[in-house]
Chains A and B, each alone.
Chain A
Amino acid sequence: MSVTDAGGDKRIFLRKASGLIRTASGTDTFIYNLGVVSIGLGVGSMLYYGPAFYPQGDLIWGCVLAGFAMALIAFGFITWTITLPRSGGIYVFGSRILPPALALTMSLVEITAWLFYCAIAAYWIVTLALAPMFAALNLLTGNETFLAISETMLEPWATFLIGAAILVLSQVILSYGMRFYLTINKWVFVLAMASSAFLLITLAMYTREDFVSHLNALVGPALNVPDAYNAIIASGKENGWGGGDPTVWQTILVSNWPFLPLVGAAFSIAIGGEIKSVGKSQTVAMLGAVLIATVVWIATVWLAYKVFGFEFLGTAVYNAVLGTGITTPTDPSVALLTGILTQSPLITVLTSLGLALWMWMWIPAMHTFGVRAVVAWSFDRVAPAPLAKISETYHTPLVAITVTTIFNLICMALFVFTPWFSKIVILIEAAVLAWSVVLLAGVFFPYKRPELYEKSPLAGKTVFGLPIMTVGCFLGFLAAQFYFWTLFFDPNAAGHDPTQVAIVVGVFVIGLAFYYVMKMIRRSQGIDVTLAFKEIPIE
């Protein structure tokens, strides 16, 4: 059978009949994904960690590499979501081919990571956006109240309380339903995109000389040096920051930072059942989000290097993080540096709030991802039944939303108050590993589940004689594995600190234990949960 041209003749006779309407357009899906990618957060983290800890890394090529790899992962997930156009993410995919215990564990690991990232995003809103904003305002206006606010915000209890309030706000918004959330999301997206465009324009309008003179004027007196710009660079070099020609290994490692936010480009697998023209929409949404984010990052990094200087960005952060040498009076975040560059409190506020809005977009999106998975588990009886209960008042799964919020708050507390979780970005490794397992399963899906694959619009489409899903998922698996190992060997982005690896392994073990405990409970109730993962025979 082959696709042919019938002169635009749609050979189908339809009758008037009611049916399911998919509501999310390609644009909606694109915005959803780009919001989770969080362009602003990517800019903030890349410029902060990149030059400081990967001095031989080429961040621009790193963005290209991460974008290419994420496009391959997206390709694999596009074939999955076209074949099984349902909401629920990798749980839906995994449950159709993997052993039940493994399918649930992969999903639980992934959800743990994303819910933990909700807490991290709330934490970063406080520490990388709001507190630096007030510190920058102090620097620009001389008003000590701003400094006091900034310092208070960075106290653990204050950070926790503000972060908790942000997480509860996400709970409240989701409780009012997806429509309410998506309406807010669109406005936040518009404002956040405007802030990114504003940052690009601002950087394009200024020169290195502007920045150096403004920095020296504002920071020099505090550091008691006339040329603060070069003094900070010299101090960093004396303390061990080493620049030099880019190396392939450092460039690969620095690409972890653009890759981390880029995983959001595939988040629309969570809402596959609500997307119309799923093949076209998901393709445009996932690959479009990867492309736009990568292009904006490359432009921003290039302009930031031009204005602030690679060595300054690297040494200022290096000194600040290690607590050695001299640096800016508060964390040299992009918001602070832009404030210094423009000498404008207003621009400082706008840039900082833009950053905060981008970080915020992570929270309800990842929270939604978690809620949907938990509801799906409950439907399949591998989680308690009340988790799928729909509120009659709000028509939303209030119990699941509340439970995941409580989990978020616990993560927030662990992150703020304990040393073990404070650098647990390593959970991203667990999530990428879970993705790679599901992508690997996709390689075999057309062969193991032909009765399902034959109904896919992809059935019959081949590349080099192989089903397109097999090829797409294999490329996605390779890309996911590549980043699992680069993250594993990068102590700055994730690494393999024994304690943290133990935590990751613990999450997998908890996932398996959770499945078997629920299986046992259900068995005592006369329910065989394994049937949830099986196809009813048709013969």
Chain B
Amino acid sequence: MNLDPVTLALVQNRLDHISHQMGWVMTRTARSPIFSQSHDFSCFIADARGTLISQADGIPIHTGGGGFAVRAILRDFKDAIAPEDVFLLNDPYTAGGNHLPDWVITRPVFVGAKLVAFACNRAHQADIGGGAAGTYNSAATEIFHEGIRLPVLKLIEAGKVRDDLWRLLMLNTRLPEALDGDLRAMIGSTRIGAERLALLVEELGVDRADEFFEGVLDHADRRFQTCIDRLEQGVWKGEEPVDNDCFEPIDAKIAVTITVKDRRLVVDFTGTSPQVRGFKNSSIANSTSAVFMSLASFFEPDLPKNEGAFRSVEIRLPEGTLVNARMPAPMTMNTVFVAHEIIHAMWKALAQALPERASAGWSKAVHAVTAGLRDDGGRYVMYQWAGAPAGGGVEGRDGFHLIGHLITLGGLTLPNLETYEQLYPARFHRQELRCDTAGAGRFRGGAGCDYEVEIFTPADYAFRGEGAGAPSSFGVAGGRAGAGGEVVLTLSDGTRIQAPKYGVERHGPGTYRALSPGGGGYGDPKTRDPERVLRDVRDGIVSAECAEKNYAVAIAADGKSINKKRTNQLREETPWSTVAPSSSAP
């Protein structure tokens, strides 16, 4: 193929710009804050065969997973795909969905009579029915408890909305106004994407556009092969425990084996535990995205996020396991957990193949969702996001203090607590970094936080405490895991309630306290720059005691300087101390 390199570069940028444009329109026109604040959506473009050719915007855990949805449309509708049609789907078992709350809108793009591309988005809806408001039903044991299942549907046929179908959708949500508005925003955004794509194809020539799309995929493939070249050839294994099934403790795991050979990666999850009773099971699309996200975040931030980039990656997902559950296992939580565990297992394996790019583990969230009635009778739903978990260290930078879910790579913006006091019947007491919770390392993990808020009304507490209990991050290259987390509710009569990991409980007015877990450290802590250790001690992130035990740095009596003599002794003579960071409240 002989493509003009300048035009190819222009096409690459233009495809990404079109994906971005769809995202800007979504953010601007959507109703529910899940789109505009959490950016829990992605916009993408597929070619006529359903191969993802651009995904420039969106939440990282959607990376590279959109092609499954488009290929399901091609499979189910074949020749019945016509101009001005719009498709809708969400089912992870039959329609290429990742989990039920993420609905996919897809608009085929025609130039003349020829199908040339698809303009698509995938977005988390505010409510889709099911056993709990807000899409997360931690009591689910079957997918039927989680909301409405949509096969590939033609929502708009030749430009005309199917009103009967629309009414069916609106009947199956607790928030029809939000769903209506958000679907319209999604549809509007694909219309703009489709117009821009049609123009691009016309300019390139309808017969030549595919060659350029192929060129874009080839370029991404070549770029990722330069990444593979940096990995040591061999077989690398990673495992991450899964210690509960949302109902009780279990002894399960995600296991991955990465084989690096002949400029190819085989990512095999054989050895992963069977699917579980609760809603953490993963789908093919979600597990694939988690693998792609692990790889993309391990290498360069500007790697193209199209399917060409992963052409040299073969993924094996054994059926009936946590990473590819059989129907009707519930799976709404999977974009967070077990996606987090999949990424950890991947990062652990990759760390052995290229240690200098290793990333220590991020800790897992402990936040609850609190729902109740205001004085005026209005219902409120308050996400306790501001007690977020922490990031892990990498070469050259410490982990981020409370930052949010790994699967967003920190993309979630935390609320201002002053704003929350205006919105909810609540008063905040504290949002402070926890001492000695950051995993020790040459580049330490981020600190967890001590978050406390008084809730003035009785409320339903939906607990999501995956990060409570044992440490949930991991250290790498000699670094240590961060401290574990804990969630405690103290009622106004003084009763102290230890929160379960998952479950919904109704309690009277009280004080919610979340101690979020710390991130993992990178590298041997004894090699950390003593000046950085001193700063951490002065900042109260590390105690003087732990500075000495974990980092072999002695702090002088004034607390403001290093006892150099003793530090030199410690660093030469003291063997590595195995003292783990404390997991109790400061």
Question: Are chains A and B native binding partners rather than an unrelated pairing?
Answer: no
